[in-house]
Amino acid sequence: MKKKIKQLIILNGGYGKRVKTISKDKPKCLITFNKKPFLYWQLLKFEKEGVKKVLLCLGYKNKQVISFLKKIKFKKLKIKIISEKKPLGTGGAIKNCRKYLEPKFMITYGDSWLDLDLRKLVAKFNLQSKENLITAIRKEKVKPHRANLLIKKNKIIKYDKNSLNFNFVDYGFMILSKKTLNNLKEYKFDLSLIISNLIENKNIKLIKIEKKFYEIGSLKGIQEFKNYFKDEVFKKPYC
């Protein structure tokens, strides 16, 4: 019987250049919705969905995030902060957490709101033999996000951020085995390197998601999330 996956990395080191008019001098995860930062709602959501440990990877304006976290408490969620001395890229940030990682761990982004049932997703992943997972959604459901996955007959053919003719978008949630980091000699690199290696080695499971994700990394994304937050989030028991 496979152990439950309870650890989550949240990648939160970006500069948020596209939303400076709203975030001002704050990191984008501290943009407020209903008087509380996005990060608060995100952490609360994951706690209610069974996450026990969060590794919060910080970069830009990390002291502001640390100061905010000192003011809040969660009943069951343990948060460890991993701050970068210099930008490492999304892949480098994960590798930078290596000594704290459990055998399998989840990954998401600090500007993403995932409209999925985390417990069911992890349970579904545990039923199969692959050691790693990527989630994806059809590009038509999340316009104008650029498709970065080519999928044919439920198989991942290629991952490429710069492709113009792919058909799926990375949903922003992965599960990785700690072993995937063993042979990575790079210090600063993008998560896409790990994903491409796993696709090439056929060691990654694909799960398609039907409900669109929301994000606060763009002005349009912030407005869409505000509308969703107002209409849907407060119907949930955790709010």
Beta-strand ranges (E) seen in 40-143 are: 53-58, 78-83, 104-109, 112-113, 133-138
Residue 59: which of 188, 146, 177, 148 has the closest Cα? 188
DSSP-derived secondary structure letter, 4? P
**pLDDT under 50: residue ranges of the chain:** 237-239
7-132+172-235: which CATH architecture? Answer: Alpha-Beta Complex (3.90)
- In sequence order, what are the beta bridge partners of 136? 170, 208
**Is there a contact between 8 and 205 (Cβ–Cβ < 8 Å)?**
no
Q: 């990060």: which residue's tokens?
A: 39
Pairwise CA distance, residues 76 & 6, whole Å: 11
Q: Where are the domains of the chain?
A: 7-132+172-235
**Is there a contact between 13 and 86 (Cβ–Cβ < 8 Å)?**
no
Render pLDDT for 111-151 as a digit per residue (tens, 0 to 9): 999 999 999 999 999 988 899 999 999 999 998 899 999 99
**Residues in the chain, total:** 239
Pairwise CA distance, residues 24 & 39, whole Å: 16
Q: How far is CA 147 from the centre of its chain?
A: 17
pTM of the model: 0.93
pLDDT for the residue 174: 97
Label residue 188 exposed, middle or buried (CB < 10 Å: 0-12, 13-18, 19+). middle
pLDDT for the residue 236: 53
